[in-house]
Amino acid sequence: MAQDQTEITDRGEWTTIDLDGHPCRIYEPQVPSQHGYTVLYLHGRYQGTPADRPKMMEHFARNGLRIIAPLSRRSWWADRLCEDFDPNITAEKYLLHKVLPYMAERWQCNPPQLALMGASMGGQGALRLAYKYPNLFPVVASFFPAIDFQIRIEEGDRILSQMYRDAEDARQDTATLHIHPLNWPRHQWFCCDPADVRWHDSIDRLRMKLYSLGVPYDCDLETSAGGHTWEYVEHMTETAIDFLMESLEQERLRVV
């Protein structure tokens, strides 16, 4: 691991490290949360992170939330090899076997101190991870998750076509198909602008499945603030972080 870039702001410090051959952006607030609460942030297809959004960072800094944001290119955070990311380890296994141990070593951060958050490609990745490993990730927040990403294969997406046999193979790996009726993350929140015509329907189908299974969730599929844009994410960040903080506190106080 080698530190290669540091950016100091009045809200804290961003650092870029190399973690097993892949860059990760790390944020240290000036005043960290007394309970060590940390966000594992999964980016979208274009690798944007909260580091690039000052309005978002106001809310992270105010709550003392650390952030680690691995950069996985267009891996869709799946448990499928993606040459655009790494020919030897999947993005999911990288998170589980490289990133989580690093968080534990650097910050002594383990569940229930951490929360998943992501947008678009990263939003669906965050939900899918939480559905597959709800005990590891009991708290998750997602901005306009690209749930039915198999449509990109139908549109000729080269990278996804290398990862999956066909669109149906990809559909079977979507977050919606990983929901377990008896084992789910205890705290999940997601949102999507109604103007986001590409992804809104699939997110609403996810909502209906959760409702039919009796799985608890919080969502906002009605607020409109810019469609599938960073402006929308910034508009919804305060709500998302308030949800994360309340959920992390509930997990900390939970009697097992």
pLDDT in tens, 198-240: 999 999 999 999 999 999 999 999 999 999 999 999 999 999 9
Confidence of residue 245 (pLDDT cuts 50, 70, 90): very high
Give the residue-averaged pLDDT of 34-49.
96
pLDDT at 3 over 70: no
Q: What is the mean pLDDT of residues 47-69?
A: 96
Please report the pLDDT score of residue 111 as a whole number.
Answer: 87
Q: In this predicted structure, what is the pLDDT of residue 175?
A: 98
Q: What span, in angstroms and rounded, lies between the C-alpha atoms of 121 and 44?
A: 4
CA–CA separation, 132 vs 128, rounded Å?
Answer: 6
Domains and CATH numbers, the chain: 2-253 (3.40.50.1820)
Q: Is the pLDDT of residue 2 over 50?
A: no
Angle at 201 between CA 196 and CA 205, to 5 degrees: 145
CA 215 to chain CA mean position, Å: 19
What pTM did the predictor assign?
Answer: 0.95
Provide φ and ψ at 59, rounded to 5°.
-75, -40
- Average model confidence (pLDDT) for the chain? 95
For the stretch 85-125, pLDDT in tens is 999 999 999 999 999 999 999 999 998 899 999 999 999 99
The pLDDT value given to residue 11: 74
Nearest of 131, 162, 126, 158 to residue 142 by alpha carbon? 126
Amino acid identity, residue 253? Answer: L
User: H or E element: which one contains 116?
Assistant: strand 114-119
Among the listed residues 239, 230, 157, the one whose alpha carbon sits nearest the alpha carbon of residue 191: 239
- Residue 5 confidence (pLDDT) above 70: no
Least confident of 2-11, 76-85, 180-189: 2-11
Whole-angstrom distance, CA of residue 192 vs CA of residue 65: 23
Longest pairwise C-alpha distance within the chain: 49
Tens-digit pLDDT profile for residues 152-188:
999 999 999 999 999 999 999 999 999 999 999 999 9
- The pairs formed by 162-171 with CB atoms below 8 angstroms and a separation of 24 or more are 162/82, 162/83, 163/76, 163/78, 163/80, 163/81, 163/82, 164/80
Tokens of 216: 């608890």
Q: What is the pLDDT of residue 1?
A: 46
Is the predicted pLDDT of residue 255 greater than 90, yes or no?
A: no
Lowest average pLDDT, out of 30-39, 198-207, 247-256, goes to 247-256
Contacts of residue 168, defined as CB under 8 A and 6 or more positions apart, other chains included, come to 150
For 65, 78, 149, 159, 256, the CA distances from 170, given in Å and listed in that order, are: 34, 10, 7, 12, 36
